[in-house]
Copies of this chain bind each other. A is one copy, B any other.
């Protein structure tokens, strides 16, 4: 879906994230408070950043390459603040269309996104909004790879029932996949943010590739999303079918969105990399194009989101330097 020339251009605008060694280990050492570890300068332990380094509006992505690519679309990329923590997080803060914004590469899974929500909330003053722009698989045959799903109908969490696995050796007889996996009730997305993201995506990429739907966040990529592997007995061969019987409108399967919840205003859009019924996987060039165009659309949605009183725009913050 890209010409050779376009692909070259895409490669040119890639930036090299600062290496992991850019953190001075002394800066994250000598912490206090085992309940919520922070260093003497107020730097949170796992993300390695402090107040003034993370903006009120946050884009969360799983892939550090995607984060670095999207940071090149800040107003003045040369002024971007970048920090990589030793726990796998990379933080880029700058401005998009004048609005302070942070892009965080989170790694994957609920525990990693929990660090992002908790540790950002601890150092961001005033209201906070998080949009996720990730990747997903889809169980729907009419949603092709290269689509983008907006989780506007909310999200469900699918978790492994550990005790069912520990006990399974003692049990006999055919059992359902959902004896081994739990589905939570639906947690809604923020409607305003979902609408903004959808509108921006429809303008930035073709509207026909945007799907609104229900998302499922699995507590793993493999077992709780119904991937069958040869080395492990996961009892998940029929999981997708059983889930679709209960929730026929599941559009996307991924690993973080459900946890962006509670007191955090949040929504999510995800590029469909994997068609789980046909086994198709999106090519790299199209993925990068959608990461760039879709990512800029989500940044613009974040920039336009109406935050209220108390948003930290001025002061001694990295986006004012």
Give CA–CA (A117, B30) in the complex, Å.
Answer: 32
Q: Is the CB of A107 within 8 A of B122?
A: no
Q: Point out the residue from B46, B219, B275, B276 that lies within 8 Å of A111, measured CB to CB.
A: B219
- Asked if A87 contacts B62 (CB within 8 A), the reply is yes
Which of B17, B34, B114, B227 sits near A137, CB closer than 8 Å?
A: B34
Is A17 a contact partner of B20 (Cβ separation < 8 A)? yes
Complex partner residue of A114 from B16, B46, B221, B279, CB under 8 angstroms: B221
- What's the Cα separation between A21 and B26 when bound, in Å? 24
Q: Is the CB of A20 within 8 A of B64?
A: yes
A68 to chain B, nearest CB (A): 8
Partner of A110, one of B184, B220, B232, B288: B220
Chain B min CB distance to A151 (Å): 16
Q: Which of B34, B64, B231 contacts A276 (CB 8 A)?
A: B34
* Set of chain B residues within 8 Å of A283, measured between Cβ atoms: 29-30
A219 CB contacts on chain B under 8 angstroms? 110-111, 219
Interface string of A44-72 (1 = CB under 8 A from B): 00100000000000000011111010000
| Residue contact A46 to B115, C-beta cutoff 8 Å | no
B residues near A288, Cβ cutoff 8 Å: 25
Determine if A229 and B274 form an interchain contact, defined as CB atoms under 8 angstroms apart: no
Number of copies: 2
A88 touches B107 (CB 8 A): yes
Instruction: Flag if A112 contacts B109 (CB, 8 Å).
Output: yes
Which residues on B sit within 8 Å (CB–CB) of A278? 34
> Which residues of the partner chain B approach A114 to less than 8 Å between Cβ atoms?
109, 220-223
List, in ascending order, chain B residues with CB within 8 A of A279's CB.
32-35
Residues of B within 8 A of A223 (CB): 114
Stretch of A91-99, A155-163, A313-321 on the interface side: A155-163
Is A73 in contact with chain B by the CB < 8 A criterion? no
Residue in chain B with minimal CB distance to A121: B231
Give chain B residues whose Cβ lies under 8 Å from the Cβ of A79: none
Asked if B88 and A25 make an inter-chain contact with CB atoms under 8 angstroms apart, the answer reads: no
- Which chain A residues (161-192) contact chain B, with CB distance < 8 Å? 162-163, 165-167, 184-185, 187
Q: State whether the Cβ of A280 lies closer than 8 Å to any Cβ in chain B.
A: yes
Cβ contact within 8 Å between A36 and B227: yes
Residue of B nearest to A37 (CB): B281
The answer to the question of A86 belonging to the interface, with a C-beta cut-off of 8 Å to chain B, is yes
The residue that A118 contacts in the complex, of B34, B122, B229, with Cβ under 8 A, is: B229
**CA of A17 to CA of B167 in the docked complex: distance in angstroms?**
42
A310 contacts B by Cβ under 8 Å = no
For A86, the closest partner residue in chain B by CB is: B65
CB pair A35–B108 under 8 Å, yes or no, is no
Q: For A111, what are the chain B residues with a Cβ–Cβ distance below 8 Å?
A: 108-112, 219-221, 255
For the complex of A and B, list the 8 residue pairs with the smallest distance between their C-beta atoms, beginning with the closest: A29-B284, A109-B111, A88-B88, A34-B274, A19-B19, A88-B107, A65-B86, A16-B21
